[in-house]
Amino acid sequence: MKEKGVLIVDDARFVRNKLKQIIEKLPSVKVVGEASNGEEAVSLYKDLKPDLVTMDLVMPNIDGIKAIEKIMNFDEKANILVVSAMGQEASVLEATEKGAKDFIKKPFKGDQVSKVIERLLRN
């Protein structure tokens, strides 16, 4: 089976590190890039063409919603998983309308993240 690449997007380094630890434990999945804002996310997506993106919504420069929009315009098959804090329900809804496939609330649990990522990468 071909290895699947994941791009992690979050402005908080500790969240990126935590997601990376969870993702790197999954079979045939590896983190191909990390971005700390929406602008980086869009340009890395274009370069790396990852199989999945974990996307924070509240970030400097371009927020997650705009980044999702730009990525979906570039690749309508983009596989985007929103990882965002509580109280972001309206934004999460908007993100799914823009094309995000699923969402996980912070603080998240490792097994929850693994399950959702495995499911999204299977489809």
Q: What is the pLDDT of residue 12?
A: 96
Catalogue all structural domains in the chain, each as residue range(s) with its CATH number: 4-122 (3.40.50.2300)
Q: In a 3-state reduction of DSSP, which class is residue 118?
A: helix
Bridge partners, residue 104, by sequence = 83
Q: Give CA–CA dist 96/40, Å, rounded.
A: 21
Write down how long the chain is. 123
Task: Output the pLDDT for position 107.
Answer: 93
User: Which structure tokens are listed for 37?
Assistant: 């804002």
Burial class (CB in 10 A: 0-12, 13-18, 19+), 62: middle
Mean of the pLDDT values across residues 3-31?
Answer: 97
CB-based burial of residue 107 (10 Å sphere; 0-12 exposed, 13-18 middle, 19+ buried)?
exposed
Tens digit of each residue's pLDDT (9 = 90 or more) over 83-105 = 998 777 889 999 999 999 999 99
Exposed, middle or buried by CB within 10 Å (0-12, 13-18, 19+), for 47?
Answer: exposed
**pLDDT at position 1, please?**
62
Instruction: Decide if pLDDT at 11 tops 80.
Output: yes
Name the percent of the chain lying above pLDDT 70: 99
Mind listing the pLDDT tens digit for each residue in 61-77? 899 999 999 999 999 99
H helices of the chain, in order, are 13-24, 38-48, 64-74, 89-98, 110-122
